[in-house]
Amino acid sequence: MQHYLTDRGPIKKTSANLQLLLTDWKANHPEIFRSHLGVTPACFDLLVEALQVDPIFHNQAHIEQMEIQDQIAIALYHFCHYGNAATTVKVALWAGIGYGTVHLVTNCVMKAVCSEQFHQSALHWPDDDMKEKAKVWVEEHSCPAWQDGWCMHLL
């Protein structure tokens, strides 16, 4: 049965970008790492640690599953980009994987992040001290109109 109207050929891909990100850039260039995934290397490691116990990343099949850190990096790269850079094709070519794999990996990561187990173990409401520290940090690192946790437009 023919699924396509025109002949299709293989597309050369490489996972070199993904591996460079998870090795050299993560260790030696955290600013580049963060620009690709939207999180610091330390935050990424904590996320991998928290999600690695989720059963969605483990199977009983004889087919080896993609490394969890690769799956999380691909999903974060997908989430961190927008417009044309966030298309399935662009993410797949960047990571050196198939287009359908982008969708599968993103779904796996989202299922793990939305699980009750992850919520109970990793997500906690901030106390008043943590909220105050966050407000101070935002005020110091953004515009003067940002006051007390919200943007005040001064006329």
**What CATH number belongs to 15-120?**
1.10.472
Per-residue pLDDT at 26: 98
Contact 57, 65 (CB under 8 A): yes
C-alpha–C-alpha distance, residues 88 and 98, integer Å? 9
Residues 70-99: tens digit of each pLDDT: 999 999 999 999 888 789 999 999 999 999
Q: How many angstroms separate the Cα of 87 from the Cα of each of 13, 99, 110?
A: 16, 10, 17
Per-residue pLDDT at 127: 93
Q: What is the mean pLDDT of the chain?
A: 90
Residues 103-145: tens digit of each pLDDT: 999 999 999 999 999 999 888 889 999 988 988 887 788 776 7
Least confident range from 2-6, 11-15, 98-102: namely: 2-6
pLDDT range class, residue 2, cuts 50, 70, 90: low
The model's pTM is 0.78
DSSP-assigned beta bridge partners for residue 151: 146
